[in-house]
Structure 1
């Protein structure tokens, strides 16, 4: 009888170490050697379980972003259109989007995407898919809202939510995040009034 595979456990160990490394040293400073050291493994183990650097970076992006996408989908699933849109706003401006350790990794990816075409495509694919999903929720909840208008509104909503989250560690008064959410709600209400 053979030994049980430890591949899933090792991949998780490496991805957690990679996230810590990227949060601390950025993408460029997170070499396979540095990640291996943080994981308590050899570089050859990192390559064995994760592949080359591009494959490791892709896996790290999925590791960090997938929980957000999944929890947003769970928060909005099974609701009628208007309630789904309200739940989406609740999610984007709620505690799920509060600053946490993953934000430094996500910001490193976005920053790295400015200089790396392959990485830019990877990050853009995720965010453009999210934009389309938010736009679809807007169109379903706001009869008469067209495709182009819903995409603009979705982009604005995401920018507002992500900017709100990014500035969350600064000592702005609580009225600022609340005001941003209220502004997002007014923007969505105005779409309904025009339709």
Structure 2
């Protein structure tokens, strides 16, 4: 079945990137890990490396966007902290729902660290209407006296902090450690606090 094969290939690609980095996830290794004898299976069912990255991102963005949309529609708050929660909590809740082991946070951490592939993650975020709405709300709530370029830098810092914090917790759980904070909900709390504080900080002189 084509759909089943494609999903197995995506599962294998996500796991191999999470464990070994992008260099360790060749099409041959992905095919082998998915139980495919034909090394061209990835190209046939998915495409090139960029297509694989986009496909893995898309299948995680879909449930996170549903949660993000629910948060936007249900909540009445319109302050910066609420908008940051709409960015952070769908990710931490999604990782919690996947359980142990999960691979997505480490996969995303490798992708954003690669200058040729990080644009796929940014494109995926930009193609989501609800994500665009949340990011626009964050920008509109930025403090007076902080330039657009400074807010862009803070946004970049927040992206790395959120993804890499989740990736490190995911890695610790996968090897049987008991990371701190003790739950994904607590990680979400800490990331919302830190990101909101950074975005609200006054500009330098």
The TM-score with structure 1 as length reference comes to 0.63
Q: Show structure 1 runs of 5+ residues with no match.
A: 1-5
Shift of the 108–65 alpha-carbon distance from structure 1 to 2, 3 Å rule, reads farther
Q: 1:123 aligns with which of 121, 128, 148?
A: 121
Question: Is 1:29 equivalent to 2:40 in the alignment?
Answer: no
Does the C-alpha gap of structure 1 residues 150 and 75 become closer, same or farther in structure 2, counting only changes over 3 Å? farther
- 2:12 aligned to which of 9, 17, 26: 17
| Partner Cα distance (1:188, 1:56) in 2 | 33
Could you say which structure has the greater relative contact order, defined with CA pairs below 8 angstroms and 6 or more residues apart?
2
| Unaligned residue ranges in structure 2 (runs of 5+) | 97-101, 173-177
Residue 137 of structure 1 corresponds to 137
3-state SS of 2:16 partner: helix
What is the aligned partner in structure 2 of residue 108 from structure 1? 110
Go from structure 1 to structure 2 and tell me whether the alpha carbon gap of 1:54 and 1:76 turns closer, same or farther (over 3 Å shift).
same
CA drift of 1:76 comes to 2.1
Q: By how many angstroms is 1:22 displaced? A: 1.5
Give the TM-score taking structure 2 as reference length.
0.61
Larger radius of gyration: 1
C-alpha separation between the residues in 1 aligned to 2:60 and 2:125? 13
How many residue pairs get matched? Answer: 180
Cα distance in 2 for residues equivalent to 1:21 and 1:143? 39
- Corresponding residue for residue 99 of structure 2: none
Q: Give distance in 1, aligned partners of 2:191 and 2:41.
A: 46
